[in-house]
Structure 1
Amino acid sequence: MWKEDVIDLKLTKFFEVSARALLSLLIVAILLAILAGIIWTFFDLRLVFAHDFHGAFKTILVDVLTVLAIVEILRTALAYFSEGRVKVTYIIDTVLVTVLTEVMAFWYREVEWEKIAMVIALVLSLAAVRIIAVRFSPRRQREEL
């Protein structure tokens, strides 16, 4: 029985080290994506002078919100790196930023009311789940004890 425990311990240690190494590579890739997004956003500033303001600002707004969504993904990865688990609130924040990016894109095009109603229902559902996740988080449960 003792040999099995040692093997399990070694496998667990190998998994943790491998996961941390791969996560480090992922964090570097996310940082590079954020840098590329910022550079692309500055590059798109030329549209203000070349096209109409409305279209240029739409493009810049979507670029900025996309970079913010990637920042939320970075936050999720860093939380896993430091705490060893993924926080549901970070994932919900990422999805909310992404969905709100799409909502802002709705301002610039005709969208059926059914699609708008579905997005509103999605945002309200995510907000409710986020409130529940904060209210019943494991950290808060430990603090109340």
Structure 2
Amino acid sequence: MINPEIKKRKGAFQLTNTNWHIRAIQLIVGILMLALYSWIGAGILNLILSLLDILKSGWTHVAERIIVDIVLILALLELIRILQSYLALGRVKVTFILDVALVVLIGELIGLWYKEYTLLEVGIHIAAITILTLLRIVSIRFSPDAID
């Protein structure tokens, strides 16, 4: 026979205790969001400091770096949106993940403009963007949240 006192102590802290689990996830997601906000702040500061380089190295060279950096900052903002939706809904929406992937791939495609690239590299990027766009359309169309 199990002592009722031991039974009571066993149930006091369980890994599957939903309150503890929710608090732990909120803490982890909060730390991730703070890290992303810090990264965005550093990126914006870097962009502002890059504007000073225009006088030294020319506008076009700095513009390509700024464009790619801005797209990366937008990808970070999309990641924050994923984390916020997870906190609000308790799940991650597939469309948000696809948005991040699309922003990153479009940024990579833009980055190819300023480098030597092959037609195959551009074709692969365009094919991946097309597939992700179609997946995003399908995920919206057949979402459980969709209202008929």
Shorter chain as denominator, the TM-score bin is 0.7 to 0.9
Q: 1:77 corresponds to which residue?
A: 83
- Supply the AA of the counterpart residue of 2:73: V
Counterpart pick for 1:133 among 120, 139, 145: 139
Give the CA deviation at 1:13: 2.6
Q: 1:55 corresponds to which residue?
A: 61
Q: 2:43 corresponds to which residue?
A: 37
Structure 2 alignment gaps of length 5 or more: 1-6
Q: What aligned pairs does 1:49-128 form with structure 2 within 5 A after superposition?
A: 49-128=55-134
- Supply the AA of the counterpart residue of 1:127: T
Q: Based on CA coordinates, which of the two structures has the bigger radius of gyration?
A: 2
Counterpart pick for 2:24 among 18, 33, 37: 18
Give the CA deviation at 1:27: 1.2
- Supply the AA of the counterpart residue of 1:94: V
Q: Deviations over 1:117-137 (max 9, x none)?
A: 111110000000000011011
**How far apart, in 1, do the equivalents of 2:60 and 2:131 lie?**
31
CA contact (8 A) 2:50 2:66 kept: yes
Q: What fraction of aligned residue pairs are identical, expressed as a percent? A: 30
- Supply the AA of the counterpart residue of 1:121: A
Structure 1 alignment gaps of length 5 or more: none
RMSD: 1.8
Figure out how many residues of one structure are paired with residues of the other and give that number.
138
| TM-score (structure 1 length as normaliser) | 0.88
Give the CA deviation at 1:8: 7.2
Q: Flag the structure with higher helix content.
A: 1
CA contact (8 A) 2:78 2:99 kept: yes
